[in-house]
A and B are shown apart, each in its own frame.
Chain A
Amino acid sequence: MDVRFTTAGDTAFNVEFGEGIDRPTNARVMALHARLKTAAPPGLVETVPTFRSLQVVYDPAVTSRREVQAAVEAELAHAGDAPAEGSLWRLPVCYDAELGPDLAELSASLGLSAERLIDLHGSTEYFVYMLGFMPGFAYMGDLPAELEKPRRSEPRVRVPAGSVATAGRLTTVYPWESPGGWHLIGRCPVPLYDGARPSPVLLAAGDRVRFEAVDRARFDALSAEAAAGRFDPDTLRAAP
């Protein structure tokens, strides 16, 4: 089980557990992330989990790479590969053609019916590998192999907030209106980022997500509730 340290200047380094995007590699990332949160060695600023590596950020005015790496190595010796269990979320999604403008093109290019695509997307439990790109943007895997398709060659300048999208073996919900190159297949009426909440980001790395198809009427009703601040996202958290 090779671990590789790479260097990001004098404020950070990465602990790399592999090259691929897979659950066992990510589990080791998350396990070390959890250990370092508890251990909190002096001068450690934060750790940032990504697909296959943990970025360790430190303050060089307080500590040194040597000291922080020694603390990380000590934790590595004890960190297993079983991170704490994340939450399971049931996120509503409306696969209406208007809300998922790439649904028809994507299903055609994959040689599937739209119904089959929706069924496959909705019948999988996804794992949140990491957050990044923008606050609350969750990289979730693993999309069924039948739905694998590289990003669009021409990214959209403006993807609406809430868009449910796929790229490669990953799926996501855009928390913000932003540019984006993923295939838009539906829309989630629940905001994944809400600055008014104590923890503004709904999903965390290590969480799991199931999408539940809702019709347009239900989507509109939930959107209105959310816009009025009357929707409690905790109701989407499945009982353990």
Chain B
Amino acid sequence: MSAPCLTIVRPGLFATIQDLGRFGHQELGMPVAGALDPIALRLANALVGNPVGTAGVEIALLGPALKVEADGVRVAVVGPMALSLEREGESPQALEPHRSHTLARGDVLKLGAVSGAAVAYLAVAGGFALEPFLGSLSTYVRAGIGPLGGKPLGDGGRLPLNRNDAPPGTDVELPEPPDYGSGPVRVVLGPQEDRFTAAAVETFLSATYRVGKDADRMGLRLDGPTLAHTGSADIPSDGLVTGSIQVPGNGQPILLLNDHQTAGGYAKIATVISADLPRVGRLSPGGALSFRAVTVEEAEAIRRRQEQTIAAWVRAIRPVRPAGGVDLEALYAENLVSGVVDIVNGNGDILNREEMCGRAP
């Protein structure tokens, strides 16, 4: 019998294998790459029981169709996208994102359009049996680096699986889609805000920008008021990070994303904080955004709170409720909201939502 895999029946428009990035080699000019929305990838992995950092499929625009060539596989999709299952002898069935599904040999998983965000993620239990390059399975298409020849999923290709069957246990779900928050994207000014006029910094922090049509994994060109430099826009090339906002001589900012080059010679007015990178990674052309400045210490505190939130989302993962059954979890949650003693728990404690999440299987 051949090795377990998902056969690519239809490749979709731009699906790539990504993990949390290829760090440690930027001194070679090697871009970090990695998931544009690391929170969604982390949650998809959590839904199928994978460790943090396992690679998944990042789906942009329109997803692939994948046929199961294994005894079974558990999958999960996180992100705003349509998906369906075709099983021989049955009519096609719509599936939900934000939960796991256990698929059988011969099943075809059809991932449809991503709408409402730039990307969604597919994770498989056990991960893909692909060879890491420089310690990572992230794909950097521009230079053909990473698994599958550094290319997006192709017609007729195969995604080899580490497991031939689904892990024991039932399917699980997130109680609700993750809420990334809204409001201005938070930035720390610098590293070269002193290369801009005071008026330019003020404009940057008060204007609304729109993502232009030049938007890809490398970065987002932003349409909006131009930002004046005090002198030349050029600096001796220095390091870039995901979230760097560089402003070339034409005054139009470019927000760099995961496939950014490692160094660049344009002055950078600000850097998006790490907690807000998943939000900007989800932006599509036409999307609006504005910026608010915070300090590094505030950014770090926001990131720590976000990590707690993600941990709570992971703890809240629960078995999928059988259709028509009594929704005990919802009843418990109602009790908590009302501040009623949780008699079901039997110990007289009033549980808060966090503890409730912690008890969930």
Contact = CB atoms under 8 A, between A and B. Distances in A.
Interface string A40-74: 00000111111111010100110011100000000
Given A20-B236, A55-B239, A134-B143, A8 B28 contact: no
A14 B27 contact: no
Given A7-B188, A11-B241, A201-B28, A132 B273 contact: no
Given A8-B271, A204-B28, A53 B239 contact: yes
A65 B303 contact: no
B28 A131 contact: yes
B145 interface: yes
B144 to A, nearest CB: 8
B268 interface: yes
Nearest to B245: A9
A7 B26 contact: no
Given A7-B188, A50-B263, A61 B238 contact: no
Interface in B135-192: 142-145, 187-192
A205 interface: yes
B241 A9 contact: yes
A136 B24 CA distance: 14
Contacts of A204: 27-28
Nearest to B268: A8
Given A7-B188, A14-B239, A60-B274, A136 B300 contact: no
B281 interface: no
A51 B297 CA distance: 28
A83 to B, nearest CB: 13
Contacts of A205: 27
A99 B115 CA distance: 47
Contacts of B271: 7-9, 12
A38 B190 CA distance: 28
A146 interface: no
B236 A50 contact: yes
Nearest to A203: B28
Interface string B223-261: 000000000000011111111100000000000000001
Nearest to B24: A46
Given A8-B241, A9-B299, A45-B24, A21 B29 contact: no
Given A60-B274, A60-B303, A132-B261, A51 B143 contact: no
Contacts, number: 145
Nearest to A50: B238
Given A131-B28, A135-B143, A195-B133, A6 B300 contact: no
A199 B238 CA distance: 23
Contacts of A66: 297
Contacts of A10: 188, 273-274, 296, 299-300, 303
Task: Name which of A7, A8, A50 has the most chain B CB atoms within 10 A of its CB.
Answer: A8
B304 A61 contact: yes
Given A131-B262, A132-B29, A7 B236 contact: no
B30 A65 contact: no
Contacts of B239: 8, 12, 14, 48, 50, 53, 55, 57
A69 B46 CA distance: 33
B272 interface: yes
A16 B190 CA distance: 13
A204 B29 CA distance: 10
Contacts of B240: 8
B72 interface: no
A61 B307 contact: yes
Interface residues of B, number: 46
A135 B268 contact: no
Nearest to A12: B241
Contact of B238 (A14, A64, A133): A14
Contacts of A12: 239, 241, 271
Given A12-B241, A20-B236, A47 B29 contact: no
Task: Name which of A9, A50, A51 has the most chain B CB atoms within 10 A of its CB.
Answer: A9
A200 B192 CA distance: 32
B31 interface: yes
A229 to B, nearest CB: 17
B236 A19 contact: yes
A130 B264 CA distance: 12
Interface in A193-238: 193, 195, 199-201, 204-205
A231 to B, nearest CB: 20
Contact of B300 (A65, A133, A139): A65
Interface of A: 6-14, 16, 19-21, 33, 45-53, 55, 57, 60-61, 64-66, 130-137, 139, 176, 193, 195, 199-201, 204-205
22 contacts: A7-B271, A8-B188, A8-B191, A8-B268, A9-B296, A10-B273, A10-B299, A13-B191, A46-B24, A46-B27, A47-B27, A50-B263, A55-B239, A60-B274, A65-B297, A131-B262, A133-B261, A136-B29, A176-B143, A195-B133, A199-B28, A204-B28
Counting from the closest, the 3 A-B pairs by CB-CB distance are: A55-B239, A9-B271, A132-B263
